[in-house]
Amino acid sequence: MGWLANLRDRTIPPMPTVLEADGLTKVYGGTRDPVPAVTDVSLSVGEGTFVAIMGASGSGKSTLLHLLAGLDMPSAGRVRIEGHDLTAMSDHKRTLFRRRRLGIVFQAYNLLPALTARENVVLPLMVDGVRPRSVQAKVDELLRTVDLTARQTHRPQALSGGEQQRVAIARALVNDPAILLADEPTGNLDSTHGQEIWRLLKALVRDHGRTVIAVTHEAQGAAHADRIIVLKDGRIVGEIAADGGFDAALVAARYAELAG
């Protein structure tokens, strides 16, 4: 039985940390009427993990996501991605870093209406001077992953909301980002199409080794994640324990305990 004990003792090496937030705080407004949107948030996200951050409207989800993505600067605290401190970079360096190492998805799909689905996906690389022909195979694969191969020549107006969000996700992945950040990615979708997006995000992590952070107020969506962190009034009030997988009802109940 020695080998069994041996196996049990062997610890699984932790996945490398992709993102580290330390004491993140964001206060809007002036000194006379400060609005604290995010307060002292610290968070560490390992490679190949799907993290959901759940919170009610106004709890600071978008503010936090913008800070993690380097779209906004904190009043205090730091964000490191792959060891690079976003908060120490010049605006120009941070813009480049975002374009090259991050993928960001919003509730609104923000596609260019004059371009086809495929062209929208390739666009971020063209900004960096990459020729579309040299990335054909990669774009084919991405379109397959988001199940849009058959719709790739359509313009956004000819696509459903769910399809448009899948284009936006493929576009966010085209630079092979260290992390995909999503702000209420299903906020404009009905629940059936929303669930499709959550399943896609989960598959990106499970089958393609991506790292995802998504903020949402929906227990149904968050239940697809590996970790669920609960935000209330700009602070992390707890993490819902996974116990080998979530279901939406359990998440909703635990969320109500933590955030209620």
Question: In whole angstroms, how close is the CB of 35 to ligand ADP at the nearest point?
Answer: 4
* Residue 34 touches which member of Mg ion, ligand ADP, none, C-beta under 5-8 Å by kind: none
Taking the complex as a whole, how short is the minimal distance between the CB of residue 210 and ligand ADP, in angstroms? 23
The rounded distance, in Å, linking the Cα atoms of 160 and 163 is: 5
Q: Give every strand in the sheet of 235-240, ordered side by side.
A: 102-105, 179-183, 212-216, 50-54, 227-232, 235-240
Q: Which does 165 bind (CB under 5 to 8 A by kind): Mg ion, ligand ADP, none?
A: none
Q: Which is nearer to Mg ion, 61 or 224 (CB)?
A: 61
Give whichever of 62 and 116 is closer to Mg ion, judged by the CB atom: 62
Nearer to Mg ion, 65 or 225 (CB): 65
Residue 256: enclosing H or E segment and its boundaries? Answer: helix 248-259
Closest-approach residue to Mg ion (CB):
62
The answer to whether 78 and 23 are in contact (CB under 8 A) is yes
- Closest to Mg ion by CB, 163 vs 183, is 183
Q: Find which of ligand ADP, Mg ion, none residue 35 binds, CB within 5 to 8 Å per kind.
A: ligand ADP
- Closest approach of ligand ADP to the CB of residue 41, in Å: 12
Question: Which among Mg ion, ligand ADP, none contacts residue 88 (Cβ within 5 to 8 A by kind)?
Answer: none
- Give the DSSP H/E element, type plus range, for residue 77: strand 76-81
Shortest Cβ 214–Mg ion spacing (Å): 12
Beta carbon of residue 227, minimum distance to ligand ADP (angstroms, whole number): 18
- Residues forming the site for ligand ADP (CB under 6 A): 28-29, 35, 37, 55, 57-63
Structure tokens at 51: 């993290």
Q: In degrees, to the nearest 5, what angle opens at C-alpha 95 toward C-alphas 92 and 101?
A: 135
User: Based on CB atoms, which residue is closest to ligand ADP, 60 or 177?
Assistant: 60
Q: 167 near 111, Cβ under 8 Å?
A: yes
179: which strand partners? 102
Among 39, 49, 59, 62, binds Mg ion (CB under 5 A): 62
Distances, alpha carbon 134 to alpha carbons 97, 125, 126, in Å: 22, 10, 11
Least Å distance, CB 256 to ligand ADP, is 17
Report the partner that residue 23 touches, choosing among Mg ion, ligand ADP, none (CB closer than 5 to 8 A by kind): none
25: tokens are 């705080």
Closest separation in Å from C-beta 165 to ligand ADP: 18
Cβ neighbours, 10 Å, residue 90: 8
106 vs 246, which CB is nearer to Mg ion? 106
Residue type, 126: M
How do the residues of the chain divide into helix, strand and coil, expressed in percent and rounded to 5?
40, 25, 35
Residue 62 or 186: the one with the smaller Cβ distance to Mg ion is 62
Q: Which amino acid is at 215?
A: V
Residues forming contacts to Mg ion in the complex (CB under 5 A) are 61-62
